Structure 1
Amino acid sequence: MSDVDEHLDLTEINAVRRLLTSKPRPVGWDERRARLDEVGSVWPIADDIRCEDAVFDGLDGEWSLAPGSDRDKVLLFFHGGGYCSGSLKSHRRMVTEAGRAMGMRTLAIDYRRAPEHPFPAQHEDALTAWRFLGRQGIAPDRIVVGGDSAGGNLTLCLVSILCAAGERLPRCLWLVSPWTDLSMSGATLSTKDAIDPIIHRAYLEELATAYVPHGVGRRDPLISPLFADLSGFPPMLIQVGSAETLLSDATRLAQAAGAADVKVGLEIWPHMIHAWPVWNAGLSAGRRTLHSAGSFVREYL
């Protein structure tokens, strides 16, 4: 990366930081959800993207298609938000531009959220979406599953469930800023705390308490996929920012996947914050991140 690119990245990411801190940190689930929807949808989707509602088996979802993309290949996308926030609205720009970069249709899922719907409701919804794609005639080897933050967690957990059932798996996985360890043992939760504008230990504790039922261990592999048996998993691309408290969640996942003989790519993007591709419209590093993900996916599909 040239000095010019780095200067631009710093200028743009600082503008996103100002957006995120322009209002007091919200309190309460309704306020948090509304705030994430607000900051995530500052930039609308591109004019040439076609979106269509997908309602099935009690779930709401949304298809998107960019010009020239292949309708018969699908990115199944799970949004972030700590399992408690996030929606189709907050992540619409990210998933639609990811579909463009990958050259395929996308299906984003509005899965149930905690605390109203704790674990395993989200796993049930992810599996429902997977089954829906099968009924649409989309073969597993033409599907990419991906997500950011908690959506990355859900991506990994879905594959664990499919592996345990002996079912066919998606062709590859795309994970952005994945939250893989709800026991919060990563070193960067402390070392990056002062520079991460979004994710802090106390906030994660609140999210995990809302999501994980009493009596379920935080190191359960279906809660914290960092501790899952990753043997036989599809190739995965992990993208994380250097300014994230969850950096260790990503790097330790890459190490665990590699030790399990999974083909894994790890990209650590300088100066980037948690889930930065959400703001790709105003962030050139976000657009480059999606382009890189598109190149990875095209290698396999």
Structure 2
Amino acid sequence: MIPPPGTGAFLNAHGWGGAAVRPLAGDASFRRYFRVELAGRTAVLMDAPPDKEDSTPFLAVGKHLHDLGFSAPQPLAADLHQGLVLLEDFGDARVNPVLSADASAEHDIYAAAVDILAALHQHPHGCVPPYNEAEYLREARLFPDWYLPAVGLAEAPGYNDAWALLWPALFTHPPVLVLRDYHADNLMLLDRPGLKQLGLLDYQDATAGHPAYDLASLLQDIRRTVSPALETAMVARYLAARPGLDEAAFRTAYAILAAQRNIKILGVFTRLYVRDGKPAYPRFHPRLWELVNANLEHPALAPVKAWFDAHVPAAARTGVQS
């Protein structure tokens, strides 16, 4: 992975001239990341091509999180015309690979992640767009728009109408800041004491929405299996930390949002494969279907389950073949 052409001049202009630049990671977007090393200092260079990615929301939400006392990587320098941002380096201890190597701290790490959400949700959500019905539907429609054609199925009537019966349950609580991709691969173990020991990544799509969304994202992880016992314990932990919530309404919203998110991601990962030529993503489809099939058994999902049972046969629930 080669750094973008303006990297040398950008680093020179901000006190990092002559630094070593090594590939670090990419993600499902067009963003790429590099580690920059100079005289014992390190930073992360984010390359977000401005014709494809707008880094302004990422910087704004990161500042908001930082101002609230949470650990979000802060910019050391930025040139948004080139799409280059030099960020504080949180290291390499992502929760998912750390727990893959040694799961002994799993409960404590998830407890810390849940406590962060509970604390965050007691603050104003800041200046982010609303997670409204139109956005929930746009996301849910990624399934019929991308997944169904990829498995040779046409969309049957009634999909939007089934979801429309569910949306009112998602507006029973004042909106909070929803980071949208809160899971083990976007959480970093930091050498810092207390609640903020987890670093937060990948929040540029943050919205103002229901507090159950990020909890469902954390506990129904596509890349890492969270046991039913741990999921149950962590939902209970969140509710205990926020005793003013209507527990029944929260649990209903959690079920709906878990299903909406997992069904959306079936579409997103199909699009990444079909449109963007990223062959790694269909391998997650079996895990997603495992989650979706379980999600649809919740009574709150009855209208959507009826649509899936009528129009998406078992043979089409195995994933797109790469």
- The two structures have a TM-score, normalised by structure 1, of 0.26
Which is greater in Rg?
2
More helix by share: 2
Q: TM-score, normalised by structure 2?
A: 0.25
